[in-house]
Amino acid sequence: MISVRVPATSANLGPGFDCVGLALSLSTRISLDRAAVPRVEVRGTGEHLIPGGTDHPAYRAAAFVAEFVGEPEAHFHLVQENSIPPSRGLGGSAAALVGGAVAANDLLGRPMAAPDLLNLVCELDGHPDNAAPALLGGLVIGTLTPEGVRCVRLEPRGLRAAVVVPDFPVSTTAARRALPEKVPHRDAVFNVGRSGLLLGALATGEYHLLRVAMQDRLHQPYRAHLVPGLSAVIEAALRAGSYGASLSGSGPTVIALTPQDRAEEAAAAMRAAFEERGVKAAAWALEVDLSGARVEPPGEVPAPVPEPVL
């Protein structure tokens, strides 16, 4: 059986809509072996919320790889050991897709080159903001083109993430419906400028610029009603010494990028801001995952799950 560990990801980071993602030190593990008939087991965080059977995202990805390499009739036994809260804006589905694709490719003798795997998982997920950093690790800026994914990978150093996960889901469908078909030109200009600043700050280590660079006018204002207390939680993160804060993906998770010594304090402050509004939440101080998806040796014990901030 092949086992692959894949990190959680935070997409957007404010203005980087559907093109920027950061890998984090929460993870899921996908284990895969050949089988006579399809068999899927899910264990861990949110196990009852993750689809079973051949609808499981990792199984779908494994089947796509098998078909791509000429084994359309292949069946698998798949086991997911999960620590990524599902439906919370931390890229859980993308991580599963990546894990299934990488595990199947390894199981079948690695017939797919890395660029083909990248294109496959990004196409299956619909865009590269979660799938690319889940596969590659670090910070990835990418876009889909007719010729495939075009992306740049960075390795932010000296940076941690405070993540707070409220105890309610936000439907991806509802989050997409909240977005208007048209936005004011001034808001588009606002986001373009901050997207450039975001990437420049993360590339150069000038993290003090993130307070401005993580601001957004294209999706957070329209989705704020789906995340009660969003503005207060972001403000609490900034008061606690974070460089900047924003929704993670379409939410409801909120992420703050922090100095190494401020992540725990920021996570606790963000959690308290939610709880002051009657919303239960879990919070973590996380590292940036620079490894991405990696095949683990047989018998490797699960990686420790980061302890929530109390």
Q: Which residue has the tokens 């086991």?
A: 79
Pair of tokens at residue 250: 């379409």
Distant-in-sequence, close-in-space partners of 84: CB < 8 Å, separation ≥ 6: 8, 26, 27, 28, 45, 46, 90, 91, 92, 95
* Residue 253 to residue 237: CA distance in whole angstroms: 13
Three-state DSSP state, 57? helix
95 carries a ligand binding annotation: yes
Is 85 annotated as a binding-site member? yes
Is 89 one of the annotated binding-site residues?
A: yes
Q: Would strands 39-44 and 76-82 be described as parallel, antiparallel, or unpaired?
A: parallel
* 278 known member of a binding site: no
25 is in an annotated binding site: no
Cα(286)–Cα(78) distance, rounded to whole angstroms? 27
91 is in an annotated binding site: yes
The answer on whether 93 is annotated among ligand-binding residues is yes
Residue 15 · residue 213 · CB < 8 Å: yes
Q: Which residue has the tokens 């991405």?
A: 292
Binding-site residue positions: 85-95
Binding-site residue positions for ATP: 85-95
